[in-house]
Amino acid sequence: MKNFLRLCLFLLCFETGFPLQCVQCQSYKNGECATKKETCTTKPGETCMIRRTWYANEIHNLQDAETKCTNSCKFEEKTSGYLTTHTYCCSHGDFCNDINLPIVMT
């Protein structure tokens, strides 16, 4: 039992001890990065983030998006006027904030 607990502790440290690779792009147009698409590496306490914006009733008509590493990410969905902005934070795997992954509603 003691060895099992040590193994679990080791695996927990192993899982949380490595940084994530995230997609980083300041702005997307027509589903493509309009600026320079790069990769960022999370620091302790950071997650990957993607923020998508579309017209309120046209979820399949993406107007803009932003992807990056951040230490202040909050799951959020806001509608202001005709635009809806959806912010998704993730840390379950490398490039979990890729623009081609489906939208995860909170």
- Domain borders along the chain are 20-90
Q: How far apart are CA 67 and CA 59, in angstroms?
A: 18
Rounded (10°) CA dihedral 38, 41, 43, 47: 80
104 token code pair: 């995860």
Q: How far apart are CA 101 and CA 15, in angstroms?
A: 23
Q: How far apart are CA 13 and CA 27, in angstroms?
A: 35
CATH architecture of the domain with residue range 20-90: Ribbon (2.10)
Order of strands, sheet of 83-90, starting from the edge strand that comes earlier in the sequence: 62-70, 47-55, 83-90, 76-80
* Tens-place pLDDT, residues 31-86: 899 998 999 999 999 999 999 999 877 767 889 999 999 999 999 999 999 899 99
Entry pTM: 0.78
Phi, psi of 6 (to 5 degrees): -65, -45
